[in-house]
Structure 1
C-alpha cells in the first residue's frame, strides 16, 4: 500500500479498528486467545454504540456479521492482523507491527471506545461474550426486559443455565447486581 491514508474516507478504517482492538486485547490480556468469536462480539458491542458500522444477524454463537468476517479477512490480507488456526483450539488473531499505521485512521473517540470495550469486556471468554452479546441483541431487537433477559438468552442457548447467564450478565454490567 502506498500514499497517505485519508482519515475518513479510507477503506482501511474498519480494518484499522479491528487491528486496534486486537492490539489492545493483546496488551491488556497477554496470552489470552483472541479468536473470531471475540472479535465478532466486541465489534457488535462497538456497533451498538455507533462506533463501528456493521450489520449483524442472530446466529448460533450470538450476533454475527458476514461483513465483519470479510473485513477481518481484508485486515489479514493487508498485514494488519495475523490469523492462525490451531487444531482443537481454534483461531488465534494477533496484531502485526504494521497495525499502528492503520490505527492512525481512528479518531480519539473511536480509540477511547475500543479501550473502554476492552476494559469492560476483554476479560470474558468467547462463550461468555456470546451470552452478553446475545442478551443485548435480544434487548435491542426484541425489547426483552431486564427481568426476562437471562431466561430469553437461555431459550436461545439451552446449554447455559439461567443462573449462569444471569451471573455473566451481571459481571458484564448488562444487568444490575
Structure 2
C-alpha cells in the first residue's frame, strides 16, 4: 500500500470533495488532517502519526504528502482568503487504475464510505472538535484510564481548547464518536 499512498490520499480527497459539494463544506488542509485522523481510527491505516496541535490532531507527514500531491499535479491548493486553503483534486483518470484492488476495496468498504459521507457534513472547526475529543479519549486510554466519563473528557478538552467550544458542543462530539463506534463512554 505504501507505493499507492499518494493515489489513496488523492482518491480520498476526490471522495470528500464529491460529498462536500453537497453539504457546502470545503476540503482544506485542516479538514483533511481531521478526516484522515478519524479514518485511520476506524482502520484505514495510511501510516500517519498524529500528535496534538493547536487545531487538534496533526500529522506533518500528511501535510508533506498534500504538498507532494500538489507538486505532482494530482491536486490544486487554492488559497481562499490568506487564512484557509481549498484542496481540489485534479482529474487523473489514468492514475486511478493503478490503485490496487485491495486499496479500492479498503477505501470502498461500507463502513469507510458511510464515514466519509458522515464526516463530509461537518466543517473544519466541527471536525477539529470531534478529532480532538477522540484524541483526548485515546490518550486517557493509553495512560490506563479504564472507565472514561464525560465530565473528565469535557474538562480535558476545555483545558486544551479553552472557551473555543461549549460543553454542549463537546457532548455532541462525544455522542457522534459513540454513535459511530469510535468510543464507548460511561455516564
TM-score category by the smaller chain? Answer: 0.7 to 0.9
Instruction: Provide runs of 4+ in structure 1 moved above 4 Å.
Output: none
The separation in 1 between residues aligned to 2:87 and 2:43, in whole angstroms, is 24
Assess, with a 3 A threshold, how the Cα gap between structure 1 residues 128 and 9 changes in structure 2: closer, same or farther.
closer
Residue in structure 2 matched with residue 48 of structure 1 by the alignment: 41
Give, in angstroms, the shift of residue 146 of structure 1.
Answer: 4.2
Contact 1:79–1:99 (8 Å) recurs in 2: no
Higher helix share: 2
Structure 2 residues without counterparts, runs of 5 or longer: none
The separation in 1 between residues aligned to 2:33 and 2:129, in whole angstroms, is 13
- String of CA shifts for 1:94-120, please: whole Å, max 9, x gaps: 111016724724230233354233122
Contact 1:135–1:149 (8 Å) recurs in 2: yes
Contact 1:80–1:102 (8 Å) recurs in 2: no
The separation in 2 between residues aligned to 1:60 and 1:127, in whole angstroms, is 12
The separation in 1 between residues aligned to 2:127 and 2:160, in whole angstroms, is 14
Structure 1 residues without counterparts, runs of 5 or longer: 1-7
RMSD: 2.4
Q: How many residues align?
A: 168
Residue in structure 2 matched with residue 166 of structure 1 by the alignment: 171
Question: Tell me, what secondary structure is at the counterpart of 1:74?
Answer: helix
